[in-house]
Structures are given as structure tokens and as C-alpha cells.
Amino acid sequence: MYKLGPTAAAQNLTAVAWFDTSTPLRSGWTWGQRYLDGGVAVIEARVGKGRVFLPGPEVIKRAQPHGTFKLVFNGIYYGAAVSAPTGAPTSSGGKR
């Protein structure tokens, strides 16, 4: 888990997934979940022309819930995304 300081935006860091409460657990049990409040689980860092996604928790470990897999796969799919200017023709030749 990460904690972003007030200069994070100036350093090209953006929180992607975070804990917004001191009791984020929806089922099961845990110790110390209050320490997660305000913590960031995934950070997006702009590096040159690219982006790096930094997951804090183990999102691909065998015991993790299926809900965390989207953090890995969205990062992979997002890496191949290309920005297009508004009004640019689509592959079918039409307008967006």
C-alpha cells in the first residue's frame, strides 16, 4: 500500500485505486484494516511517453479475490491503447 503526498501530482503520480474508509472489508475477517484508510492500492506514474502501473497489494497471487484481477488486465489493455483526436475517422470510415 502507498501513501501519496501533496507533491504527487507534480511528480506525475495519480491514484488509480484507494481505500476510502477505515473498514473496507466486505466479508471475512482481518486485523488492522483501519490502517488502510487513505492508502492507495494502485498508482499510475507517467514516465516519458509511457505509463507505469504500480500495484501495492499482491494482485496476482493465488489466494487473491477475482476482483483484483481487473487491476492487472486493465493495465495490460490500457498499455496498448492509442489516443485519437476528437472527430478522427474510425476504422469503418465514419466519425466518432
Q: How many domains does the chain have?
A: 1
Task: Read off the pLDDT of residues 4-20 as tens digits, 9 standing for 90 and up.
Answer: 888 988 888 999 888 88
Q: What residues make up the domain containing 19?
A: 9-24+31-79
Angstrom distance (rounded) from CA 58 to CA 17: 14
Residue 92 within a domain? no
Residue 74 within a domain? yes
Q: Is 25 left (phi over 0), alpha (psi -120 to 50) or beta?
A: beta
Residue 70 within a domain? yes
Give the pLDDT band of residue 84 (cuts 50, 70, 90): low
| Entry pTM | 0.62
User: What's the whole-number mean pLDDT along residues 25-44?
Assistant: 82
Encoded amino acid at 38, one letter: G
Task: Read off the pLDDT of residues 62-71 as tens digits, 9 standing for 90 and up.
Answer: 666 667 777 7
